[in-house]
Amino acid sequence: MALTKQRKQVLALAALVVIAALVWYANIDRVKGAPGGVTFHGDYTPINAQDFSIIFKQRGDAQKTVYKPSGRNPFVASAVPVVIPVITSKAAGKPRWPDYTVPQEVIVPPQLPWKFFGYGSLPSSGARQAFLLEGEDVHIVGEGEVVLNHIRIVHIGNERIEYEDTNTGARNSNQLEAVPGPSA
């Protein structure tokens, strides 16, 4: 007698129902409310937490805190300059503390070692180009270009060229110079 497909499925379902009933019966005696099969051994004694005044005081102190910025920008990698105040005393007999304040940097204007001897413009774009002389070499630069790895050409005028140091931001300019021509 061969079993049909439907009969095999009914027998398999009956076997699964019996297995599920056995698993349920085995777990029915566990303590309700215990998480994930944890059982308690012995009597449970709750902690003595009748005095909440310390907790409320700590929570109140935490709620009263106010954010006070230190003046440091978190987006800048450099440190905040430290300035130590000088304590001056009006009594002549007391020693004077040395001045530990940080001196301001003296920014030296950049120097362009090349001679500015002329300018021109391209008819297609209309942008001005400056002619700079380094010994016998001629460099043609435009506004916004960087020369010598740290000097940016800011403006090319009729009588002067203005430039700035990209490291310090200091600006300077050179006058138009006449280049001695070939002797005749």
At 93 the pLDDT is: 56
At 94 the pLDDT is: 57
pLDDT digits (tens, 9 = 90+) for 114-155: 999 899 887 877 788 999 999 889 999 999 999 999 999 999
Domain residue limits, the chain: 115-175
Most confident listed range (18-27, 31-40, 65-74, 120-129):
18-27
At 101 the pLDDT is: 64
d(C-alpha 80, C-alpha 72), whole Å: 6
d(C-alpha 109, C-alpha 115), whole Å: 17
Most confident listed range (99-108, 122-131, 166-175):
166-175
At 1 the pLDDT is: 59
Closest residue by Cα to residue 131 from 120, 123, 122: 120
How would you classify residue 16: left for phi > 0, otherwise alpha for psi between -120 and 50, otherwise beta?
alpha
At 82 the pLDDT is: 73
96, 157 Cβ separation under 8 angstroms: no
Percent of the chain with pLDDT over 90: 28
* pLDDT of 156 strictly over 70: yes
pLDDT digits (tens, 9 = 90+) for 43-79: 877 777 677 788 888 888 888 888 887 777 778 777 7
At 16 the pLDDT is: 96
Long-range (24+ apart) CB contacts under 8 A made by 152-156 are 156/119, 156/128, 156/129, 156/130
For domain 115-175, give the CATH number.
Answer: 2.30.30
At 15 the pLDDT is: 96
